[in-house]
Amino acid sequence: MSARVFIPKDSGALAVGAEEVATALAAAAKRKNVALDIVRTGSRGLYWLEPMIEVATPAGRIAYGPVTEGDVETLLAALPNGGPHPKRLGKPEDIPFLKRQTRLTFARCGIVDPLSIDDYKAHGGWRGLEKAVSLKPEAIVEEVVQSGLRGRGGAGFPTGIKWRTVLQAKGEPKYIVCNADEGDSGTFSDRMIMEGDPFVLIEGMAIAALATGATKGYVYIRSEYPHSVATMNEAVAIARRAGYLGPKVAGSARAFEIEIRMGAGAYVCGEETSLLESLEGKRGLVRAKPPLPAHQGLFGKPTVINNVISLASVPAILADGAAHYRDFGMGRSRGTMPIQLAGNVKHGGLFEAAFGLTLGELVDDIAGGTATGRPVRAVQVGGPLGAYFPRSLFDTPFDYEAFTAKNGLIGHGGVVVFDDTVDMARQARFAMEFCAIESCGKCTPCRIGSTRGVEVIDRIVRGENREANLALVKDLCNTLKFGSLCALGGFTPFPVMSALTHFPEDFGAGPRLAAAE
Amino acid sequence: MSASTPWDRKSAQEIIRKHRAMDGAALPILHALQESFGFIHEEAVVLVAEELNLTRAEVHGIVTFYHDFRAEPAGRHVIRLCRAEACQSMGADRLAEYAQAKLGAKWGDTTRDGAVTLEPVFCLGLCACAPSAMIDGRVVGRLDEKRLDALLAKVDGATR
């Protein structure tokens, strides 16, 4: 009997040699006449252990990692029985990083063959859609409202309320648009789902269609994710052949189609109205709201526009009920959040957990501090538009409102850790520079203010009229915050002001303190 | 990149017509044109405008808005180094300086022998194995000077 071996095909694993390991293992097995059935999966999200390969044994899966091509020969002897090897990690579920998680949205990621629809079904897939088919649209919407699910893209708007608005809106056709333009540095959860469990996204979109009466869906994926584009295209074709998309969705009388579209390298297209413009074939210029996309969205029609994780969370909500999902979390942040631990961390990866863990627990405990072994100095939460947090704010719980209260945001759940070599004036300058590069150009404060911001920060660092220029940059941030239509101009002040507030010593306010421990 | 074919008006027109019926066809058309020819030729702008019933200015506006579309062919190999925060925290700025010095190319430049184009990219979603890059469409993570040297040598060898 041949042993089933699982090797990730996720971009993050490929980037550290998973393909080379898979090729070498297959070649070695052939040469030594060892029967191996190699299955390519998504990633479990334990990136410091990638390439992490697993073998199915009667006692469950056994993991090995990080595996290099050089390990392949010795590994081949150990693999069939899950036997001893220096790289043996034991059962993946027992690795503390995984054991401490609550995987609802990522339940299958890294376990199943992403393009096997049978695997998907065997691991609980399509139960949510089957439930939705038996419900009236209002009842589906109500279930999502009751779950407390909020937009995981960053804005945190209640998903069910958005769906209800589209359900009640007049206009044909209606659209479901999935925002897969995951441009925030430090985030990769959308990518992991698209590459590791694409059917869960398709199922979520189909449920959204049944709930709102939409007949066409688009997934707008950034061009920096070619593997996601390829996997999603294949998955949509497979789902169509199996009858989960097409004229009769899951045997119902309802039609729904999905098309995959690729972005072209513009960060601002992750902003929902800019994304809609881009899908319409135009420059990604931000639109003023109102009208809301729910009323006049894609091609002027009622449109649900949701992030990948929001949509991918829906099947579990329908399958196991709103209460099951809502029971996780704290305050108004219900359910689980896929938190992405990134940058200078010892244990980087995907950590799905109920809201409420503190930033300190995430960074020091779960991520294990820095990869460089130096003290943690700053943590940027929520992407390039998120605030930098110093150690003194590490007691902030991971929750939408708690982060807002500390002049920050959780955004799409990215946590980027910096050690004590970071120069915060340089980070503040970069935030302005990034805004200048990526501004769509519609609002003057964002288009021009960002360039002026770079110049003013340069003057502060050079010590020119320090006080006057500090006042100027604060005033500029205020203008950006209140004078921009979207979050690019509106939120660039978060990284800039947080750097100024929490790390003034880097802006020439006296000698820089030794690493704040 | 290396697989692109020389500019040809007729086949460009075919590509455009193949995608024209899509809703919001401009981006899929431009992607297909660049995939085929390696860049967006001036004449392509006129053709797309005619076929989609847009003005030339509108199409020019679309092409120049998006970072992906090139006005000229790239080098035989394209190296996109991530410049975003997660990679910065792991030394991406230093790595970028090293790559620029080694190649004698600034951001967006192509080396004089036409072998390599160096481009910045803002996030490849490989933030837990930073710093990262994309070399001719292949993703690489946990980069350092040594690993970049090895990859450059491979690319360089392939061009000779």
- Give me the percent of chain B exceeding a pLDDT of 90: 92
- Structurally, chain B folds into a number of domains equal to 2
**pLDDT (mean) for B43-55:** 97
Q: Over chain A, what is the mean pLDDT?
A: 96
Q: Is the pLDDT of residue B44 over 50?
A: yes
What's this model's pTM, rounded to 2 decimal places? 0.97
Is there a contact between B27 and A265 if contact means CB atoms under 8 Å apart?
A: no
pLDDT tens digits for range A302-348: 999 999 999 999 999 999 999 999 999 999 999 999 999 999 999 99
Spatial distance between the Cα atoms of A416 and A342, rounded to a whole number of angstroms: 5
* Final residue of a structural domain among B39, B65, B91: B65
**pLDDT (mean) for A39-53:** 98
Q: Is residue B84 part of a domain?
A: yes
Find the CB nearest B130 among A183, A343, A430.
A343
Residues of chain A with CATH 3.40.50.11540: 117-326
pLDDT tens digits for range A95-128: 999 999 999 999 999 999 999 999 999 999 999 9
- What is the pLDDT, as a whole number, of residue B157? 56
- What is the pLDDT, as a whole number, of residue A508? 84
- What is the pLDDT, as a whole number, of residue B4? 84
Find the CB nearest B142 among A16, A340, A345.
A16
Q: Is the pLDDT of residue B159 over 60?
A: no
pLDDT tens digits for range A75-89: 999 999 999 999 999
CB-based contact, A10 to chain B, within 8 Å: no
Find the CB nearest A50 among B68, B129, B130.
B129
- What is the pLDDT, as a whole number, of residue A513? 45
pLDDT tens digits for range A174-203: 999 999 999 999 999 999 999 999 999 999
Q: Is residue B144 part of a domain?
A: yes
**pLDDT (mean) for A368-394:** 98
More confident call, A444 vs A510: A444
**Which residues on B lie below 8 Å from A226 (Cβ)?**
137
- What is the pLDDT, as a whole number, of residue A517? 38
- What is the pLDDT, as a whole number, of residue A38? 97
Half-sphere exposure of residue A442: CA atoms within 13 angstroms, side-chain side = 19
Q: Is the pLDDT of residue A46 over 70?
A: yes
**What is the fold of A3-99?**
Glutaredoxin (3.40.30)
For domain A333-419, give the CATH number.
3.10.20.600
**Which residues on A lie below 8 Å from B125 (Cβ)?**
11-12, 182, 187-188, 190-191, 224-225
- Domain A117-326 in CATH: superfamily? NADH-ubiquinone oxidoreductase 51kDa subunit (3.40.50.11540)
Domain that holds residue B155: 77-159
DSSP letter string, A11-31:
HHHHTTTHHHHHHHHHHHHHH
More confident call, A515 vs A277: A277
Q: Identify whether the C-beta of residue A490 lies closer than 8 Å to the C-beta of residue A480.
A: yes
Q: Is residue B1 part of a domain?
A: no
Q: Is the pLDDT of residue A401 over 90?
A: yes
Q: Is residue B115 part of a domain?
A: yes
More confident call, A270 vs A2: A270
Q: Within this chain, do residues B19 and B88 fall inside the same structural domain, yes or no?
A: no
CB-based contact, B132 to chain A, within 8 Å: yes
**What is the fold of A424-507?**
de novo design (two linked rop proteins) (1.20.1440)
- Helix, strand, or coil (residue A270): helix
Spatial distance between the Cα atoms of A396 and A137, rounded to a whole number of angstroms: 38
Q: Within this chain, do residues B24 and B90 fall inside the same structural domain, yes or no?
A: no
**pLDDT (mean) for A365-369:** 98
Q: How confident is the model at residue B1 (pLDDT cuts 50, 70, 90)?
A: very low
- Which residues lie across from A163 on neighbouring strands? none
pLDDT tens digits for range A125-163: 999 999 999 999 999 999 999 999 999 999 999 999 999
Q: Which residues contact B16 (CB under 8 A, 6 or more apart)?
A: B29, B33, B47, B48, B51
For B25, name the nearest residue in chain A, comparing CA atoms only.
A281
pLDDT tens digits for range A202-212: 999 999 999 99
Q: Is the pLDDT of residue B31 over 50?
A: yes
Q: Within this chain, do residues B88 and B153 fall inside the same structural domain, yes or no?
A: yes
Q: How confident is the model at residue B155 (pLDDT cuts 50, 70, 90)?
A: confident
For A388, name the nearest residue in chain B, comparing CA atoms only.
B85
Q: How confident is the model at residue B40 (pLDDT cuts 50, 70, 90)?
A: very high
Q: Which residues of A387-400 are buried (b: 16+ CB within 10 A; e: fewer)?
A: bbbbbebbebbbbb
The burial class, CB within 10 Å (0-12 / 13-18 / 19+), for A251 is exposed
Q: Is the pLDDT of residue A493 over 60?
A: yes
Binding-face residues of A in 267-286 toward B, CB within 8 A: 267, 278-284
Q: Is the pLDDT of residue A215 over 90?
A: yes
